[in-house]
Each structure stands twice: as C-alpha cells, then as structure tokens.
C-alpha cells in the first residue's frame, strides 16, 4: 500500500528509511519527555502518600505528632549480605522527642529481594512490620503480604529479647516463627531480614536517637505531651 | 462492510484467538494466570494498549517503509506502553498498584507486534482499532479461562482479590469453589500453566472439530448433492 503523496522512488531511498525512523524516534521521545514531565510531580505525590500510608501502618498515630515522610535521616547500615547500604530512617516524634523509628530492610527470598518496612520503638521493640514489595510465588510466598495473610502481624511487640535471639528463625529451623505450607524460603528470608534489621537498630541506636535531639521540621510547639509509648 | 467487521470480531474472539490459535503472548500468559483476577487485569491492560497501538500504527502505515517497519512498530509500542504506565501511575494510582507489575510486561507481548504487522499496517484506522479491541478481548478471555482453571485446581477459589482490582462492588465475584481444599501447588507454579494450556488447547481443537463437523452436516442437509467441504 503506497501513499499517493510519497512517490515510490523517494520511499526506496536509503535516506528516507533513516529519516522516517529518526522522525518517529524523535516524536516518540518527545512524547515520553512530555509524559514524564507531566506526570512526575503527580507520581511523586502519590509515592509520598504511599510511603506515608505504609509508615502509618508500622508506627501508630498515637506515637507521633510530626510528618514522618519529612523527618528523615540517612545512615549507612549493613544489609543481610554484609554490604553497606544507605538507608533512610523516618523519625516519629512526640513533643520533639523521638519515640520510634521506621526504616526499610531487604531480605532475599525465593525469587529476589523482599523489601520490608519496620517500625521500632526506642527500646528496640517492633511496632509493626509490612512487606512493601516482593516477587515471591503468588499463592505461596505472597502470604507475607497483609492482604493475603495475617502472618506479618505476628511480629508486633517482639524484639531481640522476646523471643531470644537464637529463636529468631522459622519453626523448621528450630525457631519461633511459623512457616507456611509449601513455602519455607520466603518466611525464612523475612524473619532473617527483620532480625538483621533489629540488630542494626541496636548497633546504631545511639546515632539514631540520642544524638538527634532537635527536629529539623519542628512540630507543634509545647503541646502538652502525654507519653504513650510502652 | 458489516461483514468485514463481523469477520474481524470472529477472528479476534475465537477463530484466530491470540492465546488458543495464534499461541502468542505465552510469556505473560504463564506468568500472570495463577489467579483469574490477575488474568483479567492483564487482559484488560493489554486490550487498552492493543487498541491504541493498532490505531497509531495504522495512522503511520503509509509513511513507514517495509525495511524499517519493525523498529518503528517496536518504538511506537514501547512508547505507548510507557506512557500508559506513567499516566496510570499518576491518575489511576490505586489501579496501578494492582496492575503495575503487568504493564511493563505488555512490551514483551508479541501479540501486539503481531497485530501491528499482520493487521494494523495493512488496514485503515477504524478496522484496526476494532481488531485491537477484539484481539484484546480474545486474549483476556484466554487469560481468564486459564486463570479460572489454574485457580480452582490450585487453591479452590475463584476471582480471589477481585475487589482490589475492580473495586469493592465486585467482591461478590470472589467465591470459594472447593471448601477446605488443601491446595495443589503444581497448578500455581509455571508447570501447571503449561499443563492447563495443553488441556485447554486440546479442548479447543475438539470443540472446533465438532463445530465444523456440525456445519458440514447442516450443509449436507441443505444441498441434497453434497459438495466436498474443506474445513
């Protein structure tokens, strides 16, 4: 099928092929740039909202009066494999005093990285655990998601003393935590990542809590504070 | 004219079904059909992309040359999928969280390039869009059927988590078919996908044979002297 406006002899020239490909590539890139610019700030807002939503799940509202997404500090901590990773710590404050910290750790499951967000109070007790992203087998390993199973809730209130450190493993390995039928690798990875995250917290606790007394984005001043952590 | 469209629709939905006849797009098919809901989500997203990509390629069909058509198609399809991904992330964020995983996968869907090459590059815009729609719906049908078979055999449920894809009004779709089912892991894993696919393909072949045999018999009754028929 030939277009009457473009005679065949022009269409057969090498230059025509190259330029049509070039023009379409340029057009497509221009569209992508426009799309990126047009959606960037919206997507960022949405991602911030998502982050806020997952932070709210791991740190109870009653423990903070600041905006967690805005009150962050960066620190290099060791990941499960021993590599140094720059990690963002979200700080929950009540009357400018840090009450809890939320941060993300990664475990390595059956099919790659499992990103887990932890909420830890200043005594090192888990306030909440959520799996942020993973690519585990649907129907098996995905029971680490709260939407699929209540398993992650079993970590609430636990710490490295309760159960004691040697029991931080799945039952199959003689530990404290349930694995799922048909999936051991995934919960094993999650338990190991949480244990590791708690250890890193106790290692860096001083830097995270005691040295950062002043809040950069200061919350409401002199709010009569009732200390609710416990 | 109406006949032409009827043919396009028939082709897309059954005769030339992406999954069961062309056997294209098996990669996303195996990857997402562990539940019927996932299949439905992937199918709908693919349908949308197919309509847009067929439309765009049909618009450009007279300026591209056979020598560069494949890079042009790939470029256009990749750009469309990326734009859809970004737009959904910005404006349909909740849906994107559910489907987000599948959308980049659409680029790898050879059915889209297949339709661009086989149909959209040779036909005008409206028939191309109809072709995209019906091919997409045919693909969705294939994904959902696969999903239903695998989900029931693997976990005994049907359309689990449909409400997170379609909204809470559709929670009635979530049913447990087999109560206290202990689960059949194999069907959830990729080999189960291949098994289900094999049985479904065989089933479609049998069905097609029956249909053409029935048609032949009907025609034999109409023509008293039967002419040789080709299936």
pTM of the model: 0.73
- pLDDT tens digits, residue range B98-123? 777 778 888 888 889 999 999 999 99
Give the separation between CA B93 and CA B81, rounded to whole angstroms.
16
Is B188 inside any structural domain?
Answer: yes
pLDDT of residue A136: 82
Instruction: Please state the rounded mean pLDDT for residues A93-114.
Output: 89
Is B231 inside any structural domain?
Answer: no
Nearest CA in chain B to A134: B101
Is B84 inside any structural domain?
Answer: yes
Is B86 inside any structural domain?
Answer: yes
> What integer best gives the mean pLDDT of chain A?
83
**B183 vs A contacts (CB less than 8 Å):** 139, 181-182
pLDDT of residue B59: 93
pLDDT of residue A3: 53
| Structural domains of chain B, count | 1
Q: The domain containing residue B195 runs over which residues?
A: 2-222
Min CA distance, B122 vs chain A (Å)? 7
Residue A219's pLDDT band, with cuts at 50, 70 and 90, is very low
Top mean pLDDT of A211-215, A225-229, B4-8 is at: B4-8
Give the separation between CA A91 and CA A73, rounded to whole angstroms.
8
pLDDT of residue A217: 44
0.90 surpassed by complex ipTM:
no
- pLDDT tens digits, residue range B56-65? 999 999 888 8
Is B206 inside any structural domain?
Answer: yes
Partner residue facing A137 (CB), from B68, B76, B188:
B188
Is B229 inside any structural domain?
Answer: no
Partner residue facing B188 (CB), from A29, A39, A139:
A139
Is B46 inside any structural domain?
Answer: yes
Which residues, in sequence order, are CB contacts of A179 under 8 Å at separation 6+? A170, A171, A172, A187, A188
Nearest CA in chain A to B94: A46
Q: What percent of chain A has pLDDT over 70?
A: 87
Closest listed residue to residue B107, CA positions, set B23, B28, B9, B2? B28
SS3 assignment, position A75: strand
Partner residue facing A1 (CB), from B60, B62, B97:
B62
Is B228 inside any structural domain?
Answer: no
Contact between chains at B71 and A17 (C-beta distance less than 8 A): no
A208 has a pLDDT exceeding 50: yes
Contact between chains at B83 and A35 (C-beta distance less than 8 A): yes
C-beta atoms surrounding A123 within 10 Å? 11
> What integer best gives the mean pLDDT of chain B?
86
pLDDT of residue B123: 92
Give the separation between CA B200 and CA B20, rounded to whole angstroms.
8
pLDDT of residue A95: 87
A222 has a pLDDT exceeding 50: no
């Amino acid at each position: 099928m030939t277009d009457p406006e473009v005679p065949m002899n022009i269409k057969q020239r090498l230059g025509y092929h190259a330029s049509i490909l070039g023009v379409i590539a340029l057009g497509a890139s221009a569209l992508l740039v426009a799309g990126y610019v047009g959606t960037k700030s919206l997507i960022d807002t949405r991602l911030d909202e998502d982050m806020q939503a997952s932070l709210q799940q791991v740190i109870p509202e009653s423990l903070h009066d600041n905006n967690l997404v805005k009150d962050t500090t960066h620190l290099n901590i060791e990941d499960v494999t021993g590599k140094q990773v720059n990690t963002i710590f979200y700080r929950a404050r009540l009357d400018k005093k840090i009450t809890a910290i939320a941060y993300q750790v990664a475990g390595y499951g059956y099919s790659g990285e499992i990103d887990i967000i932890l909420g830890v109070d200043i005594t090192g007790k888990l306030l909440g655990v959520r799996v942020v992203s993973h690519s585990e087998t649907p129907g098996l390993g995905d029971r680490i998601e709260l939407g699929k199973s209540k398993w992650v809730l079993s970590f609430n209130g636990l710490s490295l003393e309760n159960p004691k450190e040697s029991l931080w493993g799945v039952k199959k390995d003689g530990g404290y935590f349930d694995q799922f039928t048909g999936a051991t690798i995934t919960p094993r990875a999650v338990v190991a990542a949480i244990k590791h995250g708690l250890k890193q917290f106790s290692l860096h606790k001083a830097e995270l809590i005691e040295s950062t007394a002043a809040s950069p984005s200061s919350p409401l001043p002199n709010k009569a504070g009732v200390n609710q952590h416990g | 004219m109406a006949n032409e469209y009827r043919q396009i629709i028939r082709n897309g939905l059954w005769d030339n079904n992406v999954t069961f006849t062309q056997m294209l797009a098996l990669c996303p098919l195996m990857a997402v059909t562990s539940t019927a809901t996932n299949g439905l989500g992937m199918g709908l997203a693919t349908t949308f992309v197919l309509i847009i990509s067929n439309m765009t390629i049909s618009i450009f069909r007279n300026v591209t040359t056979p020598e560069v058509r494949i890079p042009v198609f790939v470029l256009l399809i990749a750009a469309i999928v990326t734009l859809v991904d970004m737009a959904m992330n910005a404006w349909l964020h909740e849906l994107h969280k559910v489907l987000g995983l599948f959308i980049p996968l659409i680029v790898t869907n050879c059915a889209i390039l297949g339709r661009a090459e086989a149909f959209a590059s040779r036909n005008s815009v409206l028939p191309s869009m109809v072709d995209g729609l019906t091919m997409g719906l045919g693909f969705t049908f294939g994904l959902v059927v696969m999903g239903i078979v695998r989900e029931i055999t693997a976990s005994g449920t049907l359309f689990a988590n449909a409400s997170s894809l379609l909204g809470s009004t559709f929670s009635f779709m979530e049913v447990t078919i087999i109560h206290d089912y202990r689960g059949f892991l194999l069907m959830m894993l990729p080999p189960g996908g291949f098994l289900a696919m094999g049985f479904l393909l065989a089933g479609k072949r049998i069905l097609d044979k029956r249909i053409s045999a029935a048609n032949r018999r009907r025609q034999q009754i109409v023509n008293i002297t039967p002419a040789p028929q080709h299936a």
